[in-house]
Every structure is written in C-alpha cells, then in structure tokens.
Amino acid sequence: MDIDIAMKNPAGIFATPEAVSESSELTAEQKHTVLLQWKDQLQQLQTADDEGMQQNYAAASTTDDLLVRVTSVLSRIDADLKRVSNSG
C-alpha cells in the first residue's frame, strides 16, 4: 500500500475507518494521520452540505455517519498512542 495515496484519498484505499485501524501495513502514527485526513475531508463535505452546495440528503446522512465512525476510531488510536508514550 502506498501511504501517499492513502493520505490523499483514504476512502479510496480503505472501505471503512475500522479497516484503517486493523491494517497491519500502517504504524499507529500513520493510522492517526490517515484518519485525520479522512476526518478533514468529511468535515469539508459536511460544510458543503450545510451550505446547500450539495442537495443530496442521503449523502449528507452518510457523511455524518462516517464522520462519527472516523472520529471514534481516531479516538481509540489516540488513546493507544498516549498509553504507549506514557509507558515508555
């Protein structure tokens, strides 16, 4: 897997945020970075939805749901990173 491609388009590489978390090809720091990028992209889509740039309510709902999942996985990875750094 190419980390640069994953960074530019996480959804194009990973089917779900959980797949990022489960990837054995990425370090915890890389997972964190990829998920932050995905979260940023989803927030941009959400902003566009909120501003009426996209009138597809089903897509807006999917974006909201996916953002919740990305944020949840990111929180778990952040907790794991803090635990590792505190134990070192």
Q: pTM of the prediction?
A: 0.85
- Distance (Å, rounded) from C-alpha 5 to C-alpha 3? 5
Q: Read off φ and ψ for residue 51, nearest 5 degrees.
A: -85, 5
Average pLDDT over residues 39-60: 76
Least confident interval from 5-9, 37-41, 55-59: 55-59
Residue 55: what residue type?
A: Q
Q: Hey, what are 58's tokens?
A: 């089903």
- Distance (Å, rounded) from C-alpha 70 to C-alpha 66? 6
- Residue 6, Cβ neighbours under 10 Å: how many? 23
Q: Residue 54: pLDDT above 60?
A: no
Average pLDDT over residues 43-55: 75
